Structure 1
Amino acid sequence: MSRPALEVADVFRSHGPAWRRAHAGHVSLDQLKVMSAIERCRTAALGGHVARCADCAYTSIAYNSCRNRHCPKCQGAAAKDWLADREADLLPVPHYHVVFTPPAAVADIAYQNKAVVYDLLFKVSAETILTIAADPRHLGARIGITSVLHTWGSAMTHHPHVHMIVPGGGISLDGSKWISCRPGFFLPVRVLSRLFRRLFLEKLMAAYAAGRLNFFGDHALLADTQAFATHLAPLRRSEWVVYSKRPFGGPEAVLAYLSRYTHRVAIANSRLIAVDEQGITFKWKDYRIEGHNRHKRMTLATDEFIRRFLIHVLPKGLHRIRHYGLFAKSACADNVARARELLTVAKPEGEPTSAAVDPNKPSCPCCGGRMIIIEVFARGATPRHQPTAPTNRIRIDTS
């Protein structure tokens, strides 16, 4: 894959030092670590290896990746590995995409209390959909959920929400049969929305009462109990957004969709257009507009671009992909096996794809031959071997 003309790493390398000096004392250690990782990713600073084709002697240099979960360059390989593990859990039924989005007033609280509120968003959205699915008036079944947290909108503003991928049915409460949802319809979103609202506000108030929420700056007044209650009061009457999309065509479509959602970061390198004295220009989608007109360009001052990227650095230890219900780790294998038995389908055979196509062992770009590692060099070192100079362009793997 060719390297994008512009990367977040380029912005950080050229403008990061000045930005860090200007904001010294106001940037968290986790944010500083993310900036450093992205700046050093796929460079000699992290070391790497030299590979040579066994057939034509073509030689290339590949630098190590930082493996940081916020790095735009590292998420492709991470997504492939994760999807390979998930493929065996996919059931041969329609799958639905459900999105839970708290109101802006809750997002404001989350901005200053990310670990607590993001965790609540995961747990409450899962409890909501599991509860309604188990209700005999709706589905009357135990379902499986894969939840993914996104904290951004297309313009990198703070917009926390949870994406769920859910099979269109579940195991009956007595475990005797598979119950499918109605064709094209999973669960009533208005019912989900009302329960989501009630449970979330209850648990948010409990977290506040337990002293787990902190407020500062423009929201310092919310430390007062009455002010906090007043802030939440309108939310008890407003409609909370729960959105259910049409079902996917099949397991392959689900995998393709998951590969685009599970390991996203605030902005992909492919969306960057230019950097100049005006700032950073990038592509974004205005979801308030229908059709092709929603595709737009935005230019942010470099300072603001870096700030927006870093507000999406997740708290240390917070998992952004979680599994609930039938897919909960403790009993996932047994539950999937039982579901397949009830659906009368066999367990997938061992996957040969990982052996046939290994992204860590690319073939020679010149002749397709096997590339063999002939040198491994340490962080900051210069490789002894030089890459082959092709007739048209040098190919050094820094994508």
Structure 2
Amino acid sequence: MRPKHTVADILEMEQLQLRNLSLTSWHYRALQAIRRCRTKAMGGHIDKCDCCHALHISYNPDSYRDRNRHCPTCQGHKREEWIRAREGELLNVPYFHVVFTLPDTLNPVALRHPKELYRVLFDSVWETLCAFGNNPKHLGARLGMIAVLHTWGQNLQLHPHLHCIVPKGGVSKAGFWKKGTGKDDFLFSVEAMSGKYRGRFVSKLRKALPHLPQSLYDDLFKHNWVVYSKPPFGRPEHVIEYLGRYTHKIAISNHRILAIDKENGTVTFSLKVYRKGGKKTTMALDTKEFIRRFQLHILPKGFTRIRHYGFLGSSWKKDKLPLLQLQLADMGLTQIEPLIAEEKSLHHCCPSCKKKTLVTLLSFGSRGPPKNHEQIIDRKPLKYNA
């Protein structure tokens, strides 16, 4: 179901004021790309279905040109592609979802030095897990991890944290699978990891940003850093589908926007209050404040927000991971069959009959046609059907 209101609608309302919001050129470019996406400014195309012969007129997304990953409209297709790519990497072992957070004391640093701070976050989390995983007292094996950076809370304020998926076990130095023997909530004590994580983070931050005041570090050690783990997934094949909710998620989806009051210049959106057990409520913000909060979560240019480590890293995937899957199969843990690998994506199918792929007959507008049909993302046909 298409949302009634979108982030692009809000940006369109305030487009004349965007340059007055103290935005960097990178943030301004990203917001303009979101505002233009699937509008007349991007041109369009006419497609025809091979089966039912219906014609569909659609505006082009901006993301096929700029690959803007912050656009709420263009993430569904990328998410499906990511899930398909990960399904072949599943192991038939339990998986954990672990979250590493940062205290709000670091929010000013995140605003001024986002690339350095978020890089330190990724590195310190992986080093913390490795410190426990490599220790023979805990596991004595090489771990694997998929980590996804989120920078927001439900109210759109800055709240950097890392979502991590970690298999229960690792690869020994001899190259054999070693099953984890930790508690049901995680491989290791989250309380012990919290202290190690804080120490690693502060040490690496001092090296990355040596000009930060000592008072900041003193304050960081006054707080207990939050690390928490959710219970292991019921079945391994649920892991990737679950993580897919996080990989291409942005600060707020269009479906959460409930109302836009153009006369008063306000936006009302839904949110969950996790301190009250996930209770649903609403919040109203001035449109300028909404845009200010939204742009806080536009990542630095070229920064990678989804990273793979250990035996789930790129150096393992090509050769060693298939061998590990075969080894687990010999142990009686058969390889997981992909859930949707054989399904045909509906993003390129006819919206009317959902049987055949659409063929582009004509492109119009100043942007020109995409290089190929696959670059048209998340088609949303307009009102003409023949």
TM-score by length of 1: 0.85
In structure 2, distance between residues paired with 1:179 and 1:106: 36
Helix, strand or coil at the partner of 1:89: coil
Q: Give 1:238 shift.
A: 2.4
CA contact 1:56–1:367 (8 Å) conserved in 2: no
Q: Deviations over 1:251-293 (max 9, x none)?
A: 33112211110011110001000011151000011111125xx
Q: How does 1:382-397 map to 2 (within 5 A)?
A: 396=382
Q: CA deviation at 1:169?
A: 1.1
Which residue of structure 1 lines up, in the alignment, with residue 80 of structure 2? 80
Measured after TM superposition, the shift of residue 144 of structure 1 is: 0.6
Counterpart selection for 2:248 from 253, 263, 266: 263
Which contiguous aligned blocks of 4+ residues in structure 1 show a shift greater than 6 angstroms?
A: none
Is it true that 1:374 corresponds to 2:361 in the alignment? yes
2:72 match: secondary structure: coil
Q: Distance in 1 between matches of 2:383 and 2:119?
A: 37
Partner amino acid for 2:168?
G
The change in CA–CA distance for 1:243 and 1:366 in structure 2 (over 3 A counts) is same
Partner of 1:290: 277
Deviation for aligned residue 1:337:
2.2
Counterpart for residue 64 of structure 1: 60
Aligned to 1:205: 206
Q: Is the 8 A contact 2:99 2:163 kept in 1?
A: yes
SS at match of 2:348: coil
Q: Residues 397, 124 of structure 1: CA spacing in aligned structure 2 closer, same or farther, 3 A cutoff?
A: farther
The answer to whether the 8 Å contact 2:171/2:178 transfers is yes
Q: Name the CA distance, whole Å, in 1 between partners of 2:72 and 2:163.
A: 20
Cα deviations across residues 147-179 of structure 1 (Å, max 9, x unaligned)? 000000011000001110111111123323432
Give the CA deviation at 1:241: 0.6
The yes-or-no answer on 1:30 pairing with 2:16 is no
Compare 358-367 and 160-169 and name the one that shifted more: 358-367
Residue of structure 2 equivalent to 1:110: 110
Q: In the alignment, residue 269 of structure 1 is paired with which amino acid?
A: N
The letter of the residue matching 2:167 is P
Distance 1:193 1:31, change over 3 A: same
Give the corresponding residue for 1:363: 350
Deviation at 1:379, TM superposition (A): 3.1
C-alpha distance in 2, partners of 1:168/1:367? 40
Which residue identity lines up with residue 191 of structure 2 in the other structure?
R
Is the CA contact 1:94–1:248 (under 8 Å) kept in the aligned structure 2? Answer: yes
Residues 170-208 of structure 1 deviation map (CA, whole Å, 9 limit, x = unaligned): 112332343233462322101111110111111111223
Between the aligned partners of 1:366 and 1:200, the Cα distance in structure 2 is: 53
What are the equivalent positions in structure 2 for 1:50-61 lying under 5 Å apart? 50-61=46-57
- How many Å separate the matches in 1 of 2:311 and 2:297? 30
* Separation in structure 2 between the aligned mates of residue 237 and residue 117 of structure 1, nearest angstrom: 19
Partner of 1:219: none
Task: Name whichever of 134-143 and 172-181 sits farther off.
Answer: 172-181
What secondary structure does 1:142 align onto? coil
1:45-93 CA-partner distances (Å, limit 9, x unpaired): 2233211233443211122222210000111111111111111111111
Measured in 2, the distance between the counterparts of 1:134 and 1:381 equals 54
Counterpart-to-counterpart distance in 1, 2:277 and 2:170: 34
Indicate how the Cα distance of structure 1 residues 397 and 285 shifts in structure 2: closer, same or farther if over 3 A, else same: farther
Task: Pick the aligned partner of 2:290 from 286, 290, 305.
Answer: 305
| Change in 2 beyond 3 A, CA 1:257/1:176 | closer
Mean Cα deviation higher: 98-107 or 295-304: 98-107
Q: Which residue is 1:18 aligned to?
A: 17
> Which deviates the most, 179-188 or 62-71?
179-188
Unaligned runs of 5+ in 1: 212-221, 223-227, 383-393
TM-superposition CA deviations, 1:205-261 (whole Å, max 9, x none): 12232x5xxxxxxxxxx5xxxxx1122113224211111111112233112211110
Is the partner of 1:284 in helix, strand or coil? strand
In the TM superposition, what are the counterparts of 1:1-399 in structure 2 within 5 Å? Answer: 2-20=1-19, 22-23=20-21, 26-67=22-63, 68-182=68-182, 184=184, 185-209=186-210, 228-276=213-261, 277=264, 279-290=266-277, 294-344=279-329, 356-366=343-353, 368=355, 370-379=357-366, 396=382
Number of matched pairs: 364
* Amino acid paired to 2:307: R
- The secondary structure found in structure 2 opposite 1:250 is coil
* CA gap 1:322/1:373 in 2 versus in 1, 3 angstroms: same
The offset of 1:341, in angstroms, is 3.0
Task: Give the stretch that moved more between structures: 172-181 or 314-323.
Answer: 172-181
Which range moves more in the overlay, 367-376 or 187-196? Answer: 367-376
Aligned partners of 2:136, 2:316: CA distance in 1, in Å? Answer: 23
Matching residue's letter, 1:197? R
Identity of aligned residues (%): 38
The RMSD of aligned alpha carbons is: 2.4
Alpha-carbon distance in structure 1 between the residues aligned to 2:151 and 2:343: 36
